[in-house]
């Protein structure tokens, strides 16, 4: 799921001391071929732990990060397509050694194709719709505006385990240990 990427870029921007107010709508489309695979994945899964917000909190030590987000669901269909629920997130990031502060809100949803084999899950994000607002306050109260980074079609491969009503994914990340996300099957 792509919400972590936008949040990660935001934190990196803060570390670079760039101020901005983010107001954007992003839509991206790609042509990917459905493949599917492991039938254990078919169904609706609700995130129960881990994910991008938790990973940032653990690995972005230059700032205090507070994120409130809806727990996302992802639906894998037998025809090799997937879709996510709308993820609604509010964040606040306070630099530890500076009066800089970022507040933001983002809503995102995606869909595409999936395939799974040999413990590897590949998601080809073919369509993304994300909207957000963000403001960074600099020392002295100064703010700057900057557009949201455009996201396009993407493909990510991660390790996974699926058994019964439990799914866990492990995605390699820059700057530190992998990001683990856990899910429970929605009946």
Distance CA 4, CA 20 (A): 19
Q: Which of 101, 88, 76 is nearest to 169 (CA)?
A: 76
Distance CA 110, CA 73 (A): 11
**Residue range 3-185, CATH number:** 2.40.128
Q: Which of 87, 135, 136, 106 is nearest to 25 (CA)?
A: 106
Evaluate if pTM is beyond 0.75: no
Which region among 75-84, 94-103, 177-186 has the lowest average model confidence (pLDDT)? Answer: 94-103
Distance CA 62, CA 158 (A): 27
Q: Does position 146 have pLDDT exceeding 80, yes or no? A: no
**For the ranges 14-28, 105-119, 131-145, the one whose mean pLDDT is highest:** 105-119
Q: Which of 149, 166, 148, 152 is nearest to 124 (CA)?
A: 152
Distance CA 54, CA 57 (A): 5
For residue 133, give the 3-state DSSP assignment: strand
- For the chain, which residues make up each domain, given as ranges? 3-185
For residue 157, give the 3-state DSSP assignment: strand
Unique residue bearing structure tokens 């994945």: 41
Q: Does position 36 have pLDDT exceeding 50, yes or no? A: yes
Q: What are phi and psi of 138, to 5 degrees?
A: -95, 170
């Amino acid at each position: 799921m792509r919400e972590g990427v936008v949040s990660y870029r935001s934190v990196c921007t803060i570390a670079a001391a760039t101020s901005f107010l983010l107001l954007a709508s992003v839509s991206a489309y790609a042509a990917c071929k459905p493949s599917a695979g492991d039938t254990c994945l078919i169904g609706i899964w609700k995130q129960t732990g881990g994910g991008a917000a938790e990973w940032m909190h653990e690995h972005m030590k230059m700032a205090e990060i507070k994120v409130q987000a809806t727990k996302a669901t992802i639906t894998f269909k037998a025809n090799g397509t997937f879709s996510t629920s709308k993820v609604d997130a509010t964040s606040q990031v306070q630099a530890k050694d500076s009066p800089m502060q970022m507040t933001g809100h983002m809503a995102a949803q995606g869909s595409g194709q999936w395939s799974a084999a040999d413990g590897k899950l590949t998601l080809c994000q073919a369509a993304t719709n994300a909207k957000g607002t963000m403001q960074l306050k600099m020392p002295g109260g100064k703010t700057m505006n900057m557009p949201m980074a455009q996201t396009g079609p993407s493909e990510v491969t991660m390790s996974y385990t699926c058994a019964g009503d439990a799914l866990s994914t492990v995605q390699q990340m820059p700057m530190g240990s992998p990001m683990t996300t856990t899910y429970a099957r929605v009946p």
